[in-house]
Structures are given as C-alpha cells and as structure tokens.
Structure 1
Amino acid sequence: MDTQETTVTILLLGDAGCGKTTFLSSLKQRSTRQPSSNQQIQILHDSNQPFIYDIRFSKKSFTVELYDTAYPNQHWSTLQPDVVLLAFDISNRDTLSGLRTWRQDIIRYFQHGHGERIPVMMVGLKRDLRVEGDGIIYPQETYRIAQELRCDRYAECSAVTGELMAETFEDLARLAGMSTTEKGGQTEGGCVVM
C-alpha cells in the first residue's frame, strides 16, 4: 500500500445560491459523524476554506482540499485544481444554463494545451426541491447536458435530506482518487451517471 500522502484539490463552481455551501457543509458534517434526519446542518463559512476531507478509498488514502467559488480572498482562477465540480440547483433552470459559462471558464483557465483536459463532475443540488410542473428539470435532460459539456461524471443529491449524499461523495472520491494515478481521472468519453 502507498503510504505517501497525496492531496487532491477540487474546485466547486456554480452560480450563487445553487446550494454549494450547504452541500460542502453537509459533506463535512457527514464525514465527521452520521447526522440524524432531524439534525440541522452547520453551515461552513468562507474562512473555513479549503474544506479538508481525509479519504480512504480502494485501499488508497489521500486528502481532498475542496474550494468554493465564494471564497473572498482567493480568486478561483488562480488555483490549480486536479478536479472541478460543476454544481447547479435542480429547482432553478437558470443555474443549469449557467453551467455552459462555467465550463468555458474551466477551458480558459485550466486547459492550456491541445488535448489537455481536467476531470469534471457535474452535480445537481437540492434534489429535494424537484417538483412536477412546467419548469421541471428531469434527470435525462441534465445527463444530456453533462454529456454536451464533456463532464466525466454526473450525480445529484440533497444536502438537506441527505438523499444520495453518500453516493455523490463516494463518486467524487473515486474521481479524486483516479486523478492521483498515472492514467488520471478523465473518462475515455461519455459520462458516468451515479
């Protein structure tokens, strides 16, 4: 087993109000202990960044440093992430549309050579707010958009109810862990849905 400490930097991008901070706070709280369904999530603050998670996955241990775009003293484009997490609010179509701009920013700031790509995971937040109606965003639509944006993975979850949080974090940890290998975390093509 590899005993060398590896750190993976993950940058979380998405429009303001899409649920990024609640998502990170829920991840942090769940990594320290399993909350009950009626327990309040303690919201992390920008001064807590980077958010640190120690991961043991597939017989490999590594540290994940997660940065949120709201951090006031560090412009996100100056970071050198190993993985980018694109987030949107499932109940707000504008945040889904905004992912195209965020994806262009990833290309502009982090992909400097021909064929150079950074692993990208798209995550739909606030799954508990998906309701039937005219503006509903169905999973099939978001999966198609994840493919168009050349994302390596797609998942959705609810930080408030905890629905699919463990699965989303596991998939993020898998992608982060893959980025520490020689082959890297990018997929050969297509998008994996979790």
Structure 2
Amino acid sequence: MDEDATVTLLILGESGCGKTTFLSRLKNPNLRFGNGDSAGNGLLRDGDQPFLYDIRFARKSFKLEVYDTASPNQHWSSLNPGVVILAYDISDRRSLDALKGWRNDITRYFQRGTGERIPVMMLGLKRDLREENDQIIYPQEAYRIAQELHCDRYAECSAVTGELIKEAFEDIAKVAAMTTTEKGAQGAGGCTVL
C-alpha cells in the first residue's frame, strides 16, 4: 500500500445530530464540554474542511480526509468518497428516520455502475442522551435499521463523555483501510456491530 494513500470520507446526517462535535473530539481527545456548552473552543469549523486525520491501522498508514455535509466550499454530492458514514442522534428519532433518505442519496450520487458499492457505516451519536422514554432508540433497533440500509458496520458513541469514541473511530479506520487494498471495500453489505 502507498504510504501516501488518502481515503475520502463523507459523513451525512441531519443538522444538529452531533457530527461536528464527534469530529472535533476525534481531532482533540482532551476536548472538554461543560455546562451544556458544546460550542466552546476547540470545535472544528465548517470552513476548515476537509478535516484530516493520520491513520495507522493494521500495519497500514493512510490519511483520512473527512467532509461533513455542512461543507461551505462545495456541495457534498460533488465529492468522490471512498467511505460514507450515516450519522444520527440517538435521542432524536427523526434523525434516525432521515437516514433512509440519506441512504437513497448515496445510491443516487455515488453508486453509478452495476455492482458498484461504496462502504457505508451507520453511527449513532449522543449516546449520553439515551434515556428511557417513548422515543428511546435501543441499539437493537438501530442495528436492524443499519441492516435494512445495507450498512457494513454499526457503532455508537458519545463525543461529549468520550464513551466508545475510540472504538467508533477504530471501526471507521477498519472500513477506510479496506478501501486501500487492491480488492477495495466491495463487501457484501452485511452489518457488523462493534
């Protein structure tokens, strides 16, 4: 593998679902949130896209170039991503329901040929806000939806508390690393929960 390989990753999801906070926490693991202030110093700005992450995984090194749907520099549908993440807010059922539309957009914009398949991961954000009520989204339900949407992986985490953030990023790195092989990441679309 080329040491200078770059994998373009696009993270899609409804506004406010936690994408920027998640990406900011990955950039700065020591980022602290307090008093409900998630807009404090240290959060990435949309104008700074793409966000770059150096990855060393399974004896491979590559650069991860991440674009959020809020990129002001270009419309996300003009990108050529190697991996797409479908993100939703665990405490907001509407953001989960919206993933079906985002999944249709992936097919429309990025899967042009017969049999061509882009790796897709589903990511539940704001895990710290999961609480017992009639809107609760249990992991089993989210996993079922990830399977219905033909996602390759499902993970969830909380950027605010840091819970499962490292594991979620490892999952992203695994999916991205697959795209750097000769075969690429043309998986069968079976979802793995990690």
TM-score band w.r.t. shorter chain: over 0.9
Residue 115 of structure 1, CA deviation: 1.2
Which residue of structure 2 lines up, in the alignment, with residue 28 of structure 1? 27
**Contact preservation (8 Å) 2:13, 2:99:** yes
**Contact preservation (8 Å) 2:100, 2:149:** yes
Q: 1:3 to 1:82 in 2, by over 3 A?
A: closer
Residue 47 of structure 1, CA deviation: 1.6
Q: Deviations over 1:120-178 (max 9, x none)?
A: 00000000000011111000000000000000000000000000000000110011011
State how many pairs are aligned: 189
**Which amino acid is 2:188 matched to?**
E
SS at match of 1:135: coil
SS at match of 1:145: helix
Which residue of structure 2 lines up, in the alignment, with residue 99 of structure 1? 99
Which residue of structure 1 lines up, in the alignment, with residue 13 of structure 2? 14
Q: Which runs of 4+ in 1 moved over 3 A?
A: 36-41
Which residue of structure 1 lines up, in the alignment, with residue 131 of structure 2? 131
Which residue of structure 1 lines up, in the alignment, with residue 89 of structure 2? 89
Residue 185 of structure 1, CA deviation: 2.2
**Contact preservation (8 Å) 1:119, 1:185:** yes
Residue 37 of structure 1, CA deviation: 6.4
> What is the TM-score when the length of structure 2 is the normalising length?
0.93
Alpha-carbon distance in 2 for matches of 1:188, 1:10: 19
**Which amino acid is 1:66 matched to?**
V
Q: Deviations over 1:28-67 (max 9, x none)?
A: 112xxxx276787721101211000000100110000000
Which residue of structure 1 lines up, in the alignment, with residue 37 of structure 2? none
Q: 1:80 to 1:92 in 2, by over 3 A?
A: same
5+ residue gaps, structure 1, are none
Alpha-carbon distance in 1 for matches of 2:2, 2:142: 39
> What is the TM-score when the length of structure 1 is the normalising length?
0.93
**Which amino acid is 2:167 matched to?**
E
Alpha-carbon distance in 2 for matches of 1:100, 1:172: 20
Which residue of structure 2 lines up, in the alignment, with residue 48 of structure 1? 48
Whether 1:177 and 2:187 are equivalent positions in the alignment is no
Alpha-carbon distance in 2 for matches of 1:85, 1:189: 14
Alpha-carbon distance in 2 for matches of 1:167, 1:81: 22
**Contact preservation (8 Å) 1:126, 1:158:** yes
Alpha-carbon distance in 2 for matches of 1:14, 1:77: 13
SS at match of 1:52: strand
Residue 3 of structure 1, CA deviation: 5.1
Residue 189 of structure 1, CA deviation: 3.8
